Every structure is written in C-alpha cells, then in structure tokens.
Chains A and B, each alone.
Chain A
Amino acid sequence: MTLGYICEEIDGEVLGIENTNLVISALLESLEANTENTTLMQITMEAVYHSIGFAENIFKEGNGGVIIERIIKHGIHSDTDVRIKTMMCIAEIVRCYYINLDSYMNDITTLTFKIIKEDEEEVATLGIEVWCSLCEEEINLNKMKSEERCKNYIQSAREPLLELVLFCINGSELDEDDESDSWNRSTASGCCLSLMAFILKDDIIEPVTNFAGK
C-alpha cells in the first residue's frame, strides 16, 4: 500500500531511474504472487495505475511489454474492482506509451472487445475508454503532423469497432425510465464514435447511415 501512495504522490524524478524500476518490479511481482487475494490485488492494481507514468525508461528500453503482459492478464480476474483497475491501467498505458503498443495491440483488442461486450457496465465503459484514448492519441498525432508516428490502429480495427460501438449505443436507448445522463456503455460509445469520425472522416458515414436506417 505504501508503494501505491508513493507512486500517487511524488514526482518520478525524485525516485531516480533505479528506484523507479525497483518499485515497478515489486508491484508487478505482487500482482503475480497475490492473484487469489482480492483486497491486495485491488490495492496493487491501483498502485500499478499510479506507477505507469513513471515507467517511461522501461518502455524506452523496450521492456514495457512485461508491464503490459502482467497487467492485461488480470482483465479476466473474478473481482469486478480488479477488472476496473486493469482497464484503467490499459487506458493509461495507451495514453502514455502509444508508440510502444505494437506487439500488444492484438491482446488489448481481444480483451477490451470481450469486456465491452460481456462485462458489467462500469468495466465495459472503461473498456470503451481505452478506445477513446486510442482515438485521441491518433487525432493528436495527425494534428501535430506526425502522421508517420501514427499506427492507424483505429483505421485497422474500424469494422469490428464500429459494429461494437453502434451496438452499444443502441443498447440502453430502450430504457424509457432512465432519466440520468450518466456515463455508461451507451454514452461512452457515443463519445468513441464522435472521436472515430475525426479519424475515419467520410468513411464513417456509410456504416453509420446503414445502421441508422434500420
């Protein structure tokens, strides 16, 4: 727990590279060793979430894969809160280390799609947020005229992704009594679709109008 607070409160530079690496490996080991202990897993995953910003050197040296692998496998943990924090970690990794995702995009896609389709509302909403973050990164890269750094993940995943978000937007619409404007699977999907429109541009019109016409 102490490590969690350390990561949450301090600036990465205070620790120095060596200590940062020690903290992160301790956290990752704790994830491995305590899978059965739900409370400890929740705390550790939260600490991991706060530590991701400090992992810059690990990713720079090409060792970020270990972090992604260790985190991603808990996306199917039996505890909802652990899955929620796992999704938060993945979204944070996408935001911080977009250019290092290559080898893990398949795993990230498989996990998030499964969660968006099948998991509880809160976890699924965070799963969609992972894709919103991917969209935002690509929109920013295009804005900064760094197209060569853009990996076009949204373009590559567009068909299944569109199908998924359109399905989710429709999902909760039928609930006539739902007066809340809360953040849920449907609203998050709407947000994701708007972001996708900036990337796919004219190509998004046909699938959406086909869907809307039904």
Chain B
Amino acid sequence: MSTVRDLVRDYSISSGDSNGDFKLEIPLWEISDSGVTALWGPSGAGKTSVFRCLLGLEEVPEMKWEYQGADLASLPTPERRLGVVFQNYELFPHMTAAENILFAAQSRKIPVEEFKARMKELAASLQLESCFDRRASLLSGGERQRVALARALIGKPRILLLDEPFAALDSDLRKEARALVKSAITSAGIPTLLITHDREDLDALANHVREIRNGKLI
C-alpha cells in the first residue's frame, strides 16, 4: 500500500485567476500496490490535476507520497521512476515507435540485453512488431496507445499511471484495447493507477475504485 498525504493545491492562487476557485484537497489517500486502482470522476473533478501532481509536474510542497519506505513526493520527477501514459499518448513525433521505447529505456539506463528481452516480450503482448519502424506521427490511434504503454513499461516503473488511456480511441477499438492493456499490465505485475471518467474502464480494469468530485475524494 502506498499513501498520499496532504495533496492540497489551490489553483485560484497559482493561476492568478480570480474567477477560478478550484482547489485540490486530498488529506489522505491509500493506493493499493497491486492490481489496478482507479480514480474515477466527472470532467472537471480534478483527476488530471491529481495525476500531474503525482508525477511532479505541478509543485505541491506539502505533499508526501510514502511508497515502500521512500517519499516519492520529495524526489524530482525523473527519480520517482513512474511509468506514464498520457491521454493523447504524447509520442515523440520525430522518432519511430521503436525509438520512442528505446528513449525510455536509455533514460532509465536499462542494460541492452535486458532491454532486448523486455522489448521482445512487450512486442508480443502488445502486438507491436508491425509498427516498430514507422514514425510515431504515422501510427494509427490504437498503435500509438500500445507504443505509449510499451514506452511506459519498458523502464520497470514502480507504479504505472494511465490518464484516460482509451479516451482518444474510437468506441470500436476501446474494448479490444482494454483487453490488451489489462493483459499487458497483469503480466508486467506493476501496480497501476488508472484515471478515467468512463465506467466501462472501471468494469474492465479496476480492482479498487476511488471517486473524486470538486477536488475531493468521496
């Protein structure tokens, strides 16, 4: 179990926008260190803000995130060793699919032999062989999602964070994609935090669910 404490951030102050009064207020949140924990809520509830705070992309000085004896919140973003799939996947468009994955492996300093072995596993489980050598900008939506997942998993992250990972896909593709993602994260055995507004994502993937509304867990 990892524990997030004092995730409190007042956006009306930080943005200097007097019209906005949005505030994240999560004094305590326990995230399971196995399976998929989902943070579910409607649009504007603060899901993506929580996601960015956990990644360290927004500053929350008081926050603590205890994970296996370490305080992840006190570490700079690269050292938190988190895997991440953004809503629009954010592949690097000037690189091929394989180069995107290699970039993550090199950043985490994964030894070459280990990289090759993991790449082989991921290619098989995520059906990536056909798109390895194509530039990211030329991949289809489903391929982008699978490459983004492989890129997040290659570095053996402590926790995998998925932000609305199926929102950019057509409804026909979503069912298939959910099954593929579930099988990949189950075989990787990495605790996952899923952020979604879609109940079908919960039914297909989540082992634990917390609901968020107006910046507060309920």
Asked if chains A and B come from one complex, the reply is no
Q: Give the interface of B toward A (CB within 8 A).
A: none
